[in-house]
Amino acid sequence: MKLIILLFLSSLAYGQDYEFINEVINPYDNGNPIPKDSIYLYHNFIPLGTQYLSKESINEKSVKLWWNEIKNNQPPVELFLENFNLEHLKSDIAKSQNDSIIDFNKLKKYFHRSDTKFLNENPRNNITYISKPYFNCKKDWALIVTSTYIPYINTSSGGLMHIYVKISGKWILYYQFTLWTG
């Protein structure tokens, strides 16, 4: 019975990840060489906790440093820190490393799978890398890390952390900041 409950809870969390991705990552708009209704995602999630966003860097001091990178019109970091337990985040990141392949069957039709072969054959398309989404305990705050790679000029846009809050059943971008530059 415990195994069935664990599998059920695991599938609920898995479904929530994709619902969140579908809601917050929208098709590209102007200025891109690909159709506006397409997003080419790399087939694996960004491996947070290893190469990107190490466990050591997930602490209040680092978050405040990243947050204060831009001075104009930023929302209070304290509200995020009050609602998002960073130790819980570290634990979730460590647990999530086992399942890194994106399930495209759970995503909207404008998401398209890309890999190294696709990159070589379609150098004019921007490729988006995403992390798994991570939620606070109440599931009303979430964050996701994104990065875009532009093959034809062999450059990355760097890594951005997007922080969302759920208001009236809809995810709203609270703040975003740069984690690394390309």
Q: Give the model confidence (pLDDT) of 126-149 as tens digits.
A: 788 899 999 999 999 999 988 887
Report how far residue 6's alpha carbon sits from residue 56's, in angstroms, rounded to the nearest whole number. Answer: 29
Report how far residue 155's alpha carbon sits from residue 46's, in angstroms, rounded to the nearest whole number. Answer: 17
Max CA distance (Å), the chain = 54
When comparing pLDDT for 27 and 140, which is higher? 140
Tally helices (H) and strands (E) across the chain. 5, 9
Whether 113 and 130 have beta carbons less than 8 Å apart is answered as no
Q: How far is CA 96 from CA 13, 32, 101, in A?
A: 11, 32, 11
Helical residues (DSSP H) of the chain, grouped into ranges = 2-24, 60-67, 77-83, 86-96, 116-121
The gap from C-alpha 148 to its chain's centroid, in whole angstroms, comes to 12
Question: For all residues of the chain together, what is the average pLDDT?
Answer: 79
Residue 64, phi-psi category: left (phi > 0), alpha (psi -120 to 50), beta (remainder): alpha
From 5-14, 41-50, 97-106, the region with the lowest mean pLDDT = 5-14
Q: What is the pLDDT, as a whole number, of residue 164?
A: 95
Please state the φ and ψ torsions of residue 151, each to the nearest 5 degrees: -60, -40
Helical residues (DSSP H) of 25-76, grouped into ranges = 60-67
Per-residue confidence at 105, pLDDT binned at 50, 70, 90?
Answer: very high
When comparing pLDDT for 181 and 162, which is higher? 162
The predicted model gives 71-83 an average pLDDT of: 83
Whether 126 and 148 have beta carbons less than 8 Å apart is answered as yes
pLDDT over 70 for what percent of the chain? Answer: 77
pTM of the entire structure? Answer: 0.81
From 13-17, 33-37, 137-141, 144-148, the region with the lowest mean pLDDT = 33-37
On the question of pLDDT at 1 being above 70, the answer is no
Residues 6+ apart with CB under 8 A from 116: none
On the question of pLDDT at 59 being above 50, the answer is yes
Q: What is the pLDDT, as a whole number, of residue 90?
A: 85
List the one residue out of 67, 135, 52, 139 whose CA is nearest residue 97: 52
